[in-house]
Amino acid sequence: MADAVTRVLFVCHANIVRSPLAEGVLRHLVEQRGLADRFVIASAGISAYEGVAPDAGSVAVAAAHGINLVSRSRQMTRVDLYDHHHVLVADRPVLAKIRSLTGSAFGEIGGPGKAGARVRLLAQLADPHAQGDALDVADPLRGGPEGYLRVYRQIERACHNLLLELAPRAS
């Protein structure tokens, strides 16, 4: 089963700032490792307008790191929780909304005999010991370029750790 495709979905509020940035970062890391054929990577929002381009600040910080953001916003649906293996959520309010859709807490979505996504906070991949506000990838909209850079670094750490978990390097 090592050759199976792993489906990863990043979710934030509107799918224009954090989740498309995370999608682009993971896609970039996967491509650098030559693993693009082993992953399907997407993003969505719990309150997204369909087809909106990523935020200019996210595009700029990604471009500064050699990453091109190409996705367009889309609304997350309940089906996404069954179509993806891993759902990485930007913050606790978004997670609460997902819980309200599913009636589920952290961990696996689904029920007896039903496969579903492993739903986690993205920031916990960046720092497994995170607590309080550190559990969230903050929305950088009011933080200027420094805010976007902070968020980029947190997302990059999280995506790096996720990739190590999903596709460990051979010893």
Which residues are designated catalytic? Answer: 12, 18, 139
- Give the span between the Cα atoms of 131 and 5, in whole angstroms: 32
Residues in the chain: 171
E strand map for the chain: 6-12, 39-45, 86-89, 107-108, 118-121
Question: Pick from 87, 22, 18: which is nearest to 48 by CA?
Answer: 18
Which value, in Å, is the radius of gyration of the alpha carbons in the chain?
15
